[in-house]
């Protein structure tokens, strides 16, 4: 049952005290404890104090005064730790929040024949496999990074087809229209598959696309697993 | 000392109330009673603008029963992680934070001979090598079909976080926990002698999920696949190969590594 206050002028009874004792010893399972400030714990072996200070809907606190060691639980699946006290202090995010997405390509596309390792074609990636935070645009063939900070793992495969031809190709990752990572460039016969993997710290709003460089006018292979474009927050 | 209850019929004394106040204010020695609440603990410091709560622990997953609120936090002593409730309900929707990142390597060496460990494993202490497998890769063309690599041995890594769910008869891992996994593999054949197309790939539930490199192989070429795979508990992850030209490795002429790690929700 809910805690009650003792009326002024009333003599204390044992149950007035015991309701508190039962609450803080776990005997009372029906009552939630809510503290209108912070809850601090310090025990032998953990000599520095830390405080649980409440929650946010998303992100670290943007106002209020906090101490190093404060912990906030964000309702979107992250925990934030204050590493430098202040108003509002400096905070680090814990968790990945299911920020992962994968897309593939189902529409035909012919790559431009290129040379001297110059230029690329953006792939018309158009099919979402997994994207719980709606980062991918099927019409624009790109991911939009939802927030700054954090480290992202980006990975992709580009498959091609071109009968009776041996040529060089590679997979490329672009940010805001500029290449930031290239995979191994190797010869393929009648087409083949190339991969690219990179780690990046993106800014909010960055546009991430998959591209290809090919020294022949090869067709993009839209078969299963041949064009796969993924990214995920890892830290 | 432990908190005590005031006996019925006994007039309360100041010490009876102060024991609770001292506990909540930290005036008690840290070595005395801890506070335990059999419900939810909430803090609401100015600036922390939404509700959250500490609600206890589980062992091996988010709560499977009970009713929870947005922002509830659970400590999981089975997966060594935290869970945050992102959708209130019974039991609600949860996202995982941190914890052990299972990682392991599968290993296959075809042909009659001893298992050859990856280069970075040569100084470790490993269990006895299993029986090597002779595996034939069938002739394929037109980018169609594949052979499942018969990964038959899970090599312990440097830390005791051996990935659960490996089957040396299914040649793969059954995913224990829904989430995002990083999967890599490589194929390292000695031969074919050149001009033959060979590709590697990651398989999910028996289907191609993502190709790795498929290029011309000139003798001892290595083929690599890497994939970020969002899996549901129970999914089977394997690796495969596509070869344009029948390739029947002789003794110790083929090696393959297969690694998987949990990397997030």
Instruction: Please give the residue of chain A at the shortest CA–CA distance from B96.
Output: A95
- Token pair in block for residue A174: 């672009």
Q: Stretch A77-103: mean pLDDT, rounded?
A: 94
Determine how many CB atoms are found less than 10 A away from the CB of residue B176.
18
Of A22-26, A211-215, B56-60, which one has max mean pLDDT? A211-215
Q: Binning pLDDT at 50, 70 and 90, where does residue B125 land? A: very low
| Side-chain half-sphere exposure of A137, counting CA atoms within 13 A | 13
For residues A214 and B140, which has the higher predicted lDDT (pLDDT)?
A: A214
Q: Stretch A208-225: mean pLDDT, rounded?
A: 97
User: Cβ separation of B71 and A74 shorter than 8 Å?
Assistant: yes
- pLDDT 10s digits, B215-249: 877 656 778 999 999 999 999 999 988 887 655 55
Q: What beta strand segments (E) does chain A contain?
A: 33-35, 39-43, 46-56, 70-74, 78-84, 90-94, 100-104, 121-122, 127-130, 136-137, 142-144, 152-161, 166-175, 178-182, 186-189, 193-200, 207-214, 219-220, 227-233
Q: Binning pLDDT at 50, 70 and 90, where does residue A67 land? A: very high
User: Cβ separation of A14 and B37 shorter than 8 Å?
Assistant: no
d(CA A187, CA A193): 10
Least confident of A106-120, A145-159, A207-221, B135-149: B135-149
For residues B104 and A94, which has the higher predicted lDDT (pLDDT)?
A: A94
Q: How close B140 gets to chain A, by Cα (Å)?
A: 13
* Nearest-by-Cβ selection for B12 from A16, A62, A129: A16
Do A96 and A76 touch, CB atoms closer than 8 A? no
- Token pair in block for residue A226: 């041949």
- pLDDT 10s digits, A120-132: 999 999 999 999 9
Q: To the nearest whole number, what is the mean pLDDT of chain A?
A: 94
Q: What is the pLDDT of residue A41?
A: 86
What is the DSSP secondary structure assignment for residue B137, as one 8-state letter?
B
Q: Binning pLDDT at 50, 70 and 90, where does residue B117 land? A: very low
Least confident of A185-189, B48-52, B203-207: A185-189
Burial of A150 (0-12, 13-18, 19+ CB in 10 A): middle
For residues B28 and B102, which has the higher predicted lDDT (pLDDT)?
A: B28
Which positions in chain A touch B201 (Cβ < 8 Å)? 225
Q: What is the pLDDT of residue B122?
A: 41
d(CA B150, CA B154): 12
- pLDDT 10s digits, B130-152: 555 666 677 788 888 998 887 77
Q: ipTM value, please give it.
A: 0.85
């Amino acid at each position: 049952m809910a805690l009650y206050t003792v009326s002024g002028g009333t003599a204390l009874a044992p149950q007035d005290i015991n309701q508190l004792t039962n609450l803080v010893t776990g005997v009372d399972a029906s009552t939630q404890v809510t503290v209108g400030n912070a809850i601090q714990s310090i025990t032998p072996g953990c000599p520095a104090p830390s405080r649980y200070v409440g929650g946010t809907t998303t992100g670290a606190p943007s106002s209020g005064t906090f101490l190093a060691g404060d912990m906030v639980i964000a309702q979107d699946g992250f925990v934030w730790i204050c590493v430098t006290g202040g108003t509002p202090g400096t905070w680090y995010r814990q968790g990945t929040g299911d920020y992962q997405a994968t897309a593939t390509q189902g529409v035909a596309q012919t790559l431009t024949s290129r040379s001297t390792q110059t230029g690329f074609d953006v792939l018309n990636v158009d099919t979402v496999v997994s994207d719980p935070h709606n980062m991918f645009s099927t019409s624009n063939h790109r991911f939009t990074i939802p927030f700054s900070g954090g480290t992202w793992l980006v990975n992709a495969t580009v498959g091609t087809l071109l009968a009776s031809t041996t040529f060089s190709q590679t997979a490329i990752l672009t940010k805001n229209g500029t290449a930031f990572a290239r995979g191994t460039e190797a010869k393929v016969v009648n087409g083949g598959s190339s991969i690219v993997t990179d780690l990046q710290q993106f800014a909010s709003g960055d546009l991430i696309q998959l591209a290809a460089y090919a020294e022949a006018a090869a067709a993009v292979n839209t078969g299963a697993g041949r064009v796969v474009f993924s990214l995920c927050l890892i830290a | 000392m432990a908190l005590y209850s005031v006996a019925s019929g006994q007039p309360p004394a100041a010490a009876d109330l102060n024991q609770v106040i001292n506990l909540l204010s930290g005036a008690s020695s840290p070595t005395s009673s801890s506070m335990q609440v059999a419900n939810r603990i909430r803090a609401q410091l100015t600036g922390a603008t939404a509700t959250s709560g500490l609600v206890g622990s589980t062992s091996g997953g988010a709560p499977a029963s009970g009713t929870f609120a947005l922002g509830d936090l659970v400590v999981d002593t089975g997966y060594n992680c935290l869970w945050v409730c992102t959708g209130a309900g019974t039991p609600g929707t949860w996202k995982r934070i941190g914890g052990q990142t299972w990682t392991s390597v599968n290993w296959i060496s075809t042909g009659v001979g001893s298992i050859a460990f990856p280069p970075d494993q040569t100084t470790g202490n490993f269990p006895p090598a299993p029986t090597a497998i002779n595996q034939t890769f069938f002739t394929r063309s037109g980018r169609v079909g594949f052979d499942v690599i018969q990964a038959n041995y899970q090599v312990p890594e440097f830390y005791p976080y051996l990935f659960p769910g490996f089957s040396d008869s299914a040649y793969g891992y059954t995913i224990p926990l829904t989430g995002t996994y990083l999967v890599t593999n490589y194929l390292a054949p000695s031969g074919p002698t050149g001009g033959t197309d060979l590709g590697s790939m990651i398989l999910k539930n028996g289907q191609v999920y993502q190709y790795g490199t498929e290029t011309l192989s000139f003798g001892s070429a290595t083929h690599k696949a890497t994939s970020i795979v969002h899996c549901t508990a129970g999914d089977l992850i394997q690796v495969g190969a596509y070869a344009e030209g029948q390739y029947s490795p002789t003794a110790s002429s083929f090696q393959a590594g297969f690694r998987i790690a949990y990397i997030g929700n």
